[in-house]
Amino acid sequence: MTPVEQIKERLSIVDVVSSYVKLEKAGMNLRARCPFHSERTPSFFVSPARGSFHCFGCNKGGDIFTFIEEVEGANFSEALRTLADRAGVDLRSTSGYKQGEAAALYEILEEATLFFEKNLWTPPFALPLVRGGLGGVEYLRKRGLTDETIKKFRIGYALDSWSALRDYLKGKKYSEQLIEKAGLIISGDRGYYDRFRARIMFPIANSQGRIVGFSGRIFEGLAPRSSKSEVGAKYINSPETTLYNKSRILYGYDKAKRAIMQKNSCIVVEGQMDLIVSHQEGFDNTVAVSGTALTSYHIDLVKRFTDILILAFDADPAGLKASERSVRTALEKGMDVRIAKLPKGLDPADYILKNKTGWTESTASAKHIIDFYLDFLREEGLKGRDLSKQITKKVLPYIAELGSKLDQAHFIKKVADLLEAPERAVQEEVQKITTPPQPSPDKGREELRPPPLGEVGGGYTLQLEEKIAGILLWQTGQGNARPDLRSGQALTRFKQRLEKITGKSHDEIFKKYSSKIKQDLIFQSEMYYGDDAGQINKALDELLDNLEKEILEGRLKELIIMLKKEEKVKNEREVKKILEECQKINKRIHEIKNSRFSSLGRPGTGKALGGKFYEKK
């Protein structure tokens, strides 16, 4: 059995996907909002029977490997390693498996983490230092961390040495070039030397919990003896590497994502200690941005599990500025952005340790960003034109970003009351603020659909054709689905009728679809109709009725144009011929309309069109 087969045998598509998005039952399948693009209505489906996923919004789909590649931005080898670790499949014992560079970098970073952890807990550094400072463990305990928390977050210590880590990793047979690529050593005039020296080390993990980098914090008043120039550098972080991109990593996300889903909210703090103390004290739905603004990718990570984003940055000017930079991005993504107010001079870690109840209340009663800024401006004591200018600058752009007109009206009234101005005036100011339309992240990537089968007809005709083709492809055994039209005669009848309506053989009809589009159509049919053969028969009759009606109505419009042209030149023979054809078409349309199934084929009146996917424009 190959590694891929072993992994698929041990991990289900539901197990893998549910660790990233919140799934809900949808008949035989499950659905969620797509993790790959922004959407309000779920169009991302998971089929346990097929072991696959598909999004009808962005057209991405595949198996567990494809999912990890997309969600982690990984190549196949990295996805294989990630899933093998999760499934307990040993790739090293598999003949033919060749370790890639990324896998080697992961191993180096894991070895470095173990090295730093050992340093922290091994004397003399684990004990109070002779120099009068605190040892690493004592320092962290003084900051409020328990030994259990220190071990859970794998906090360590980088020795006060130019080469301790380099020598350790070289002893493990890793090359200096590869260690440099992991961001752990620097090339200088005298060779390679350790990037991190005499620092408390915080490992940074990706969403799967694998170490991708580090943040090193200097002790209070204790600089590395090996480099006096670094006294002012409180934190040193890993550089951008193949594995580490700070705009795509949220510190603690791997430990917080399940709690974010369960609590339906995500608290965002700035630093590692803020996050670690939060988790230690039970606020395990917390993540940290670690020295960078909250990015669009960060928002997407959070949005997989919740729409509620609680920003809890330090209550100083820099903290407020960080909130301001992040809010617009979050609002553009449709997030409910709230601000948890902190006492002046305290960061979240200090506040939690001093007043856990206060922090609980602060996060539970976090105010919407607009209410937060209105209160902030009131507290600043601004009045008149000064207040009006600040509201125009800080508040109105956020009101303009709100997706709900009712929410907009609510806050417009609040602003009008505060300024003692007419609501209409505030509304006009909001309307002046225009946000450039955001291009779809997948614009241009969707595969072009073929034109309709019939010679006439628009988007609705194409929708009907695709639905019919999907069911027939599914029931003829193409794809992984089990056919449910057990009567060969029934299937033949449907194919013959399709050919009669379109004037083309069913083979010719199916041939025009690419294999990817075929799989999309088959998946949708299976998802919607399940095992109900009676429902499938009924749906095909309805769909074919409506397809025939659409094509006939299109032909009728063409004939009317032709009729006017022939009447103009007084061609009585052609006029008579056209009128006879119009009469036949009208008669057939009337028959279809009078059919007892006619009203069920349209969206909203029956199941034939499969919900929102086939809504006539």
Contact 464, 550 (CB under 8 A): yes
What pLDDT is recorded for position 551? 86
**Residue 99: per-residue pLDDT:** 57
Mean residue pLDDT of the chain comes to 81
The span from the CA of 419 to the CA of 430, in Å, is 14
One-letter amino acid of 538: K
- Is the pLDDT at 95 greater than 50? The verdict is no
Determine the pLDDT at residue 93: 59
Residue 268: its pLDDT value, please?
Answer: 95
Looking at residue 362, its pLDDT comes to: 94
Q: Please report, as a single letter, which amino acid is at residue 522.
A: I
DSSP code at position 208: T
Q: Taking residues 51-65, what's their average pLDDT?
A: 87
Measure CA 604 to chain center.
30
Dist. CA 257–CA 503, nearest whole Å: 54
* Best CATH choice for the domain 3-87 from the list 3.90.580.10, 3.90.1150.10, 2.60.120.1310, 3.20.20.60: 3.90.580.10
Measuring CA to CA, which residue among 103, 102, 105, 108 is closest to residue 92?
A: 103
Over residues 187-222, the pLDDT tens digits come to 998 899 999 998 999 999 998 888 999 999 986 545
pLDDT value at position 61?
85
Is the pLDDT confidence value at 238 over 90? yes
Give the Cα separation of 6 and 89 in Å (integer).
7
Residue boundaries of the structural domains of the chain: 3-87, 101-244, 253-365, 372-432, 459-614
CB proximity list for 459: less than 8 A, separation 6 or greater: 616, 617
Quickly count: other Cβ atoms within 10 Å of residue 76's Cβ. Answer: 13
pLDDT tens sequence across 282-335: 999 999 987 788 888 899 889 888 889 999 875 544 556 656 767 877 887 888
The β-bridge partners of 263 are none
Consecutive H or E run containing 317: helix 317-332
* DSSP secondary structure of 467-480: HHHHHHHHHTT-SS
Cβ atoms of residues 580 and 563 within 8 Å: no
Q: Which amino acid is at 127?
A: L
Q: Which two tokens stand for residue 253?
A: 């996300």
Measured in whole angstroms, how far is the alpha carbon of residue 175 from the centre of its chain?
36
Q: Which whole number is the average pLDDT over 120-131?
A: 69
For 314-337, give one letter per residue: b (16+ CB within 10 A) or e: bbeeebbebbbebbebbbebbbeb
* Tokens describing residue 409: 């009206």
- Give the pLDDT of residue 216: 93
For the stretch 479-533, pLDDT in tens is 444 445 545 667 778 778 888 888 777 777 777 777 777 777 777 777 666 556 6
- pLDDT of 179 reads 97
Lowest mean pLDDT among 227-236, 497-506, 532-541: 227-236
Q: Specify the higher pLDDT residue, 255 or 530.
A: 255
205: its two tokens:
């993990």
The pLDDT of residue 451 is above 90: no
| pLDDT computed for residue 480 by the predictor | 46
At 347 the three-state DSSP class reads coil
Contacts of 512 (CB under 8 A, 6+ apart): 450
pLDDT at 164 over 90: yes
Share of the chain above pLDDT 90, in %: 29
Question: Closest Cα to residue 45, out of 615, 617, 611?
Answer: 611
Query: What is the rounded CA–CA span in Å between residue 297 and residue 38?
Result: 11
Return d(Cα 15, Cα 9) in angstroms, integer: 12
Inter-residue contact 165 to 180 (CB < 8 Å) = no
Percentage of the chain exceeding pLDDT 70: 80
Bigger pLDDT: 582 or 460?
582
Place 102 in a pLDDT band, splitting at 50, 70 and 90. confident
More confident residue, 389 or 332: 389
- pLDDT surpassing 50 at residue 441: no
What gap in Å lies between CA 533 and CA 342, rounded to an integer? 61
**pLDDT tens readout for residues 540-575:** 888 888 888 888 888 888 888 888 888 888 888 988
Given pLDDT bands bounded at 50, 70 and 90, which one contains residue 227?
A: low
Q: What share of the chain is helix, strand, coil (3-state, %, to 5)?
A: 50, 10, 35
Which CATH class, in words, describes the domain spanning 253-365? alpha beta
What is the average per-residue pLDDT within 243-267? 91
Average pLDDT over residues 42-46: 90
Which CATH superfamily does the domain covering 101-244 fall into? Answer: DNA primase, catalytic core, N-terminal domain (3.90.980.10)
